[in-house]
Amino acid sequence: MSWKQCSIPVGFDHTDIRMQVSAFAEAKGHPADFALFGRIDDETSSELLLLSPLAVKMMGNILSPLWIAVVHPERFGWSLLFGHVGCHSRLGLKTPGELAGDS
């Protein structure tokens, strides 16, 4: 299963999306690698939200078609919006600080 991302305008309140992901994870027992990440894409002036492969697999058909497959999310720094502390390293992602060489 692949990572999936969706793009929203910078400044858009993504609380509803976070709450839906959180509610789904809670219903499934809060799996360790079920996570939602975010980052700002300066080139497109949008915020990208990224679902972990486990979240994609478990949420399956309830995901909107706006969630598209993405390859190589490890090339970017991601902020954890929902999930267990430490899932960055387990999933092979970097934080924005690590990407900038601040770690």
Q: State pLDDT tens for residues 5-54.
A: 999 988 888 888 888 888 888 888 888 899 999 999 888 889 999 999 99
Q: What is the pLDDT of residue 45?
A: 84
Q: What is the pLDDT of residue 103?
A: 46
Q: What is the Cβ-side half-sphere exposure of residue 63, based on CA atoms within 13 angstroms?
A: 22
Q: What is the pLDDT of residue 86?
A: 87
Q: Residue 1: pLDDT band by 50, 70, 90 thresholds?
A: low
Q: Where are the domains of the chain?
A: 3-99
First and final CA of the chain: distance in angstroms? 30
56 Ramachandran zone, left/alpha/beta (phi>0; psi -120 to 50): alpha
Per-residue pLDDT tens for 47-102? 999 999 999 999 988 898 999 999 999 999 999 999 998 899 899 999 988 876 65
pTM for this model (two decimals): 0.88
More confident residue, 1 or 51: 51
